[in-house]
Amino acid sequence: MEDAHADAESGPWQPLLDVWFKDDSTGLVVGSYGLVFRTTDGGETWANHAGSVPNNERLNLNGITQITGGALFMAAEAGLVLRSTDNGENWEDIETPYHGSYFGVVGTGIEDQVLAFGLRGNIYRSEDLGETWDLIETDINRTINSGHVGADGDIVLVANDGAILRSSDHGQSFTTYTRISRHSYVDVLVLDEQGLVLAGERGALRTDRSGRDFML
Protein backbone atom coordinates (compact mmCIF):
# COMPACT_ATOMS: atom_id res chain seq x y z
CA MET A 1 0.00 0.00 0.00
CA GLU A 2 2.92 2.36 0.62
CA ASP A 3 3.94 2.04 -3.02
CA ALA A 4 0.35 2.62 -4.14
CA HIS A 5 0.10 5.78 -2.04
CA ALA A 6 3.42 6.98 -3.45
CA ASP A 7 2.19 6.34 -6.97
CA ALA A 8 -0.98 8.28 -6.26
CA GLU A 9 1.06 11.27 -5.11
CA SER A 10 3.81 11.33 -7.73
CA GLY A 11 2.37 9.29 -10.59
CA PRO A 12 2.99 5.57 -11.16
CA TRP A 13 6.50 4.57 -12.18
CA GLN A 14 5.52 0.96 -12.79
CA PRO A 15 3.92 -0.15 -16.08
CA LEU A 16 0.23 0.49 -16.65
CA LEU A 17 -1.13 -2.40 -18.71
CA ASP A 18 -4.75 -1.74 -19.64
CA VAL A 19 -7.50 0.87 -19.43
CA TRP A 20 -11.30 0.86 -19.48
CA PHE A 21 -13.76 3.76 -19.61
CA LYS A 22 -17.44 3.62 -18.72
CA ASP A 23 -18.07 6.93 -20.48
CA ASP A 24 -16.21 10.17 -21.23
CA SER A 25 -15.61 10.80 -17.53
CA THR A 26 -15.27 7.60 -15.52
CA GLY A 27 -12.56 5.03 -16.09
CA LEU A 28 -10.04 2.64 -14.58
CA VAL A 29 -6.43 1.87 -15.39
CA VAL A 30 -4.69 -1.28 -14.15
CA GLY A 31 -1.09 -2.41 -14.13
CA SER A 32 1.86 -4.17 -12.60
CA TYR A 33 2.10 -5.00 -8.90
CA GLY A 34 -1.63 -4.51 -8.44
CA LEU A 35 -1.89 -0.91 -9.61
CA VAL A 36 -5.47 0.34 -9.99
CA PHE A 37 -6.37 3.99 -10.48
CA ARG A 38 -9.79 5.54 -11.09
CA THR A 39 -10.78 8.80 -12.74
CA THR A 40 -14.12 10.60 -12.75
CA ASP A 41 -13.03 13.62 -14.80
CA GLY A 42 -11.92 12.09 -18.06
CA GLY A 43 -8.38 11.41 -16.93
CA GLU A 44 -7.49 14.86 -15.63
CA THR A 45 -6.94 13.39 -12.17
CA TRP A 46 -6.59 9.84 -10.88
CA ALA A 47 -7.16 8.32 -7.44
CA ASN A 48 -5.74 5.09 -6.04
CA HIS A 49 -8.45 2.42 -6.25
CA ALA A 50 -6.38 -0.66 -5.36
CA GLY A 51 -8.11 -0.97 -2.00
CA SER A 52 -11.28 -2.16 -3.75
CA VAL A 53 -9.45 -5.09 -5.37
CA PRO A 54 -8.71 -8.31 -3.40
CA ASN A 55 -5.08 -8.69 -4.48
CA ASN A 56 -2.96 -8.88 -1.34
CA GLU A 57 -0.05 -10.43 -3.23
CA ARG A 58 0.06 -7.42 -5.55
CA LEU A 59 -0.08 -9.60 -8.64
CA ASN A 60 0.17 -7.93 -12.03
CA LEU A 61 -3.25 -6.93 -13.34
CA ASN A 62 -2.84 -7.54 -17.05
CA GLY A 63 -6.22 -6.71 -18.55
CA ILE A 64 -9.64 -5.23 -17.89
CA THR A 65 -12.78 -5.40 -20.02
CA GLN A 66 -16.56 -5.05 -19.85
CA ILE A 67 -18.62 -7.91 -21.24
CA THR A 68 -22.13 -8.03 -22.66
CA GLY A 69 -24.49 -7.63 -19.71
CA GLY A 70 -22.32 -5.00 -18.02
CA ALA A 71 -19.98 -6.95 -15.73
CA LEU A 72 -16.30 -6.00 -15.60
CA PHE A 73 -13.48 -8.54 -15.46
CA MET A 74 -9.75 -8.27 -14.76
CA ALA A 75 -7.14 -10.84 -15.77
CA ALA A 76 -4.04 -11.31 -13.62
CA GLU A 77 -1.15 -13.58 -12.73
CA ALA A 78 -1.37 -16.87 -10.83
CA GLY A 79 -4.83 -17.76 -12.11
CA LEU A 80 -6.43 -14.66 -10.62
CA VAL A 81 -9.58 -13.35 -12.29
CA LEU A 82 -11.57 -10.54 -10.71
CA ARG A 83 -15.17 -9.47 -11.29
CA SER A 84 -17.18 -6.32 -10.66
CA THR A 85 -20.91 -5.89 -11.18
CA ASP A 86 -21.06 -2.23 -10.14
CA ASN A 87 -18.89 -0.56 -12.80
CA GLY A 88 -15.66 -1.16 -10.93
CA GLU A 89 -16.58 0.26 -7.54
CA ASN A 90 -16.06 -3.11 -5.84
CA TRP A 91 -14.31 -6.29 -6.93
CA GLU A 92 -14.32 -9.97 -5.99
CA ASP A 93 -11.91 -12.73 -6.93
CA ILE A 94 -13.43 -15.75 -8.62
CA GLU A 95 -12.02 -19.25 -8.78
CA THR A 96 -10.66 -20.55 -12.07
CA PRO A 97 -9.22 -23.98 -12.96
CA TYR A 98 -5.94 -22.54 -14.24
CA HIS A 99 -3.13 -21.30 -12.00
CA GLY A 100 -0.87 -19.72 -14.61
CA SER A 101 -0.99 -16.14 -15.83
CA TYR A 102 -4.00 -14.74 -17.65
CA PHE A 103 -3.15 -11.87 -19.96
CA GLY A 104 -6.63 -10.84 -20.98
CA VAL A 105 -10.38 -11.31 -20.84
CA VAL A 106 -13.04 -10.67 -23.48
CA GLY A 107 -16.76 -11.21 -23.74
CA THR A 108 -18.35 -13.44 -26.36
CA GLY A 109 -21.14 -11.12 -27.47
CA ILE A 110 -23.64 -13.05 -25.33
CA GLU A 111 -24.77 -11.77 -21.94
CA ASP A 112 -22.70 -12.98 -18.96
CA GLN A 113 -20.29 -15.01 -21.11
CA VAL A 114 -16.54 -14.40 -20.80
CA LEU A 115 -13.24 -15.81 -22.07
CA ALA A 116 -9.99 -15.67 -20.10
CA PHE A 117 -6.72 -16.42 -21.90
CA GLY A 118 -3.00 -16.43 -21.29
CA LEU A 119 0.10 -18.58 -21.16
CA ARG A 120 0.66 -21.63 -23.38
CA GLY A 121 -2.44 -21.10 -25.48
CA ASN A 122 -4.81 -21.55 -22.57
CA ILE A 123 -8.38 -20.30 -23.09
CA TYR A 124 -11.16 -20.78 -20.57
CA ARG A 125 -14.81 -19.96 -21.23
CA SER A 126 -17.60 -19.21 -18.78
CA GLU A 127 -21.32 -18.80 -19.46
CA ASP A 128 -22.27 -17.73 -15.92
CA LEU A 129 -20.15 -14.67 -15.04
CA GLY A 130 -17.17 -16.80 -14.10
CA GLU A 131 -18.85 -19.18 -11.67
CA THR A 132 -17.84 -22.19 -13.79
CA TRP A 133 -15.26 -22.55 -16.55
CA ASP A 134 -14.57 -24.88 -19.49
CA LEU A 135 -11.21 -25.32 -21.20
CA ILE A 136 -11.33 -24.47 -24.91
CA GLU A 137 -8.99 -26.66 -26.94
CA THR A 138 -6.55 -24.92 -29.29
CA ASP A 139 -3.71 -26.11 -31.48
CA ILE A 140 -1.10 -23.69 -30.10
CA ASN A 141 0.95 -23.50 -26.92
CA ARG A 142 2.02 -19.88 -27.36
CA THR A 143 1.10 -17.03 -25.05
CA ILE A 144 -2.16 -15.33 -26.03
CA ASN A 145 -1.79 -11.61 -25.38
CA SER A 146 -5.04 -9.86 -26.25
CA GLY A 147 -8.43 -10.16 -27.90
CA HIS A 148 -11.42 -8.25 -29.20
CA VAL A 149 -15.04 -8.99 -30.10
CA GLY A 150 -16.45 -7.52 -33.28
CA ALA A 151 -19.91 -6.04 -33.66
CA ASP A 152 -20.91 -9.16 -35.61
CA GLY A 153 -19.82 -11.47 -32.77
CA ASP A 154 -16.52 -12.60 -34.28
CA ILE A 155 -13.83 -13.04 -31.60
CA VAL A 156 -10.17 -12.61 -32.51
CA LEU A 157 -7.26 -13.36 -30.16
CA VAL A 158 -3.61 -12.60 -30.93
CA ALA A 159 -0.56 -14.42 -29.64
CA ASN A 160 3.20 -14.68 -29.82
CA ASP A 161 4.96 -15.85 -32.99
CA GLY A 162 2.28 -14.43 -35.27
CA ALA A 163 -0.65 -16.60 -34.18
CA ILE A 164 -4.17 -15.28 -34.78
CA LEU A 165 -7.12 -17.22 -33.37
CA ARG A 166 -10.65 -16.61 -34.63
CA SER A 167 -14.03 -17.80 -33.38
CA SER A 168 -17.41 -17.41 -35.07
CA ASP A 169 -19.35 -19.42 -32.47
CA HIS A 170 -19.03 -17.18 -29.41
CA GLY A 171 -15.76 -18.71 -28.27
CA GLN A 172 -16.78 -22.36 -28.28
CA SER A 173 -14.01 -23.16 -30.79
CA PHE A 174 -11.17 -21.36 -32.55
CA THR A 175 -9.29 -21.69 -35.82
CA THR A 176 -5.66 -20.57 -35.92
CA TYR A 177 -3.66 -18.85 -38.61
CA THR A 178 0.04 -18.09 -38.11
CA ARG A 179 1.38 -15.20 -40.17
CA ILE A 180 4.49 -15.99 -42.19
CA SER A 181 6.45 -13.17 -40.54
CA ARG A 182 5.81 -14.77 -37.11
CA HIS A 183 5.90 -11.34 -35.47
CA SER A 184 4.25 -11.34 -32.06
CA TYR A 185 1.08 -9.28 -31.61
CA VAL A 186 0.02 -7.65 -28.36
CA ASP A 187 -3.34 -6.16 -29.33
CA VAL A 188 -6.07 -6.43 -31.94
CA LEU A 189 -9.10 -4.45 -33.07
CA VAL A 190 -11.90 -6.17 -35.00
CA LEU A 191 -13.22 -3.67 -37.55
CA ASP A 192 -16.83 -3.52 -38.67
CA GLU A 193 -15.84 -3.84 -42.33
CA GLN A 194 -14.48 -7.38 -41.92
CA GLY A 195 -10.90 -6.35 -41.22
CA LEU A 196 -8.43 -6.37 -38.34
CA VAL A 197 -5.88 -3.96 -36.95
CA LEU A 198 -2.96 -5.87 -35.44
CA ALA A 199 -0.45 -4.18 -33.13
CA GLY A 200 2.86 -5.73 -32.21
CA GLU A 201 6.63 -5.61 -32.19
CA ARG A 202 6.83 -4.09 -35.69
CA GLY A 203 4.05 -1.53 -35.24
CA ALA A 204 0.47 -1.76 -36.50
CA LEU A 205 -1.00 -3.15 -39.70
CA ARG A 206 -4.44 -3.77 -41.17
CA THR A 207 -5.44 -7.17 -42.52
CA ASP A 208 -8.53 -9.05 -43.57
CA ARG A 209 -10.55 -10.80 -40.86
CA SER A 210 -8.43 -13.96 -41.02
CA GLY A 211 -5.19 -12.04 -40.52
CA ARG A 212 -3.78 -13.39 -43.79
CA ASP A 213 -3.92 -10.56 -46.30
CA PHE A 214 -2.75 -6.98 -45.89
CA MET A 215 -5.38 -4.28 -46.45
CA LEU A 216 -5.02 -0.57 -47.20
pLDDT tens, position by position, 104-157 = 999 999 999 999 999 999 999 999 999 999 999 999 999 999 999 999 999 999
Distance in angstroms (rounded) separating the CA atoms of residues 214 and 216 = 7
| Residue 143 C-beta-side C-alpha neighbours within 13 Å | 14
For the chain, residues classed under CATH 2.130.10.10 are: 1-136
pTM, full prediction: 0.91
Residue 76 β-bridge partners: 61
The number of angstroms, rounded, from the C-alpha of 38 to the middle of its chain's C-alpha atoms is: 18
Class of CATH domain 145-216: mainly beta
pLDDT tens, position by position, 41-88 = 999 999 999 999 999 999 999 999 999 999 999 999 999 999 999 999
pLDDT tens, position by position, 6-45 = 555 545 578 999 999 999 999 999 999 999 999 999 999 9
CATH architecture of 1-136: 7 Propeller (2.130)
In terms of DSSP bridges, do strands 195-200 and 185-190 run parallel, antiparallel, or are they unpaired?
antiparallel
> What radius of gyration, in Å, describes the C-alpha atoms of the chain?
17
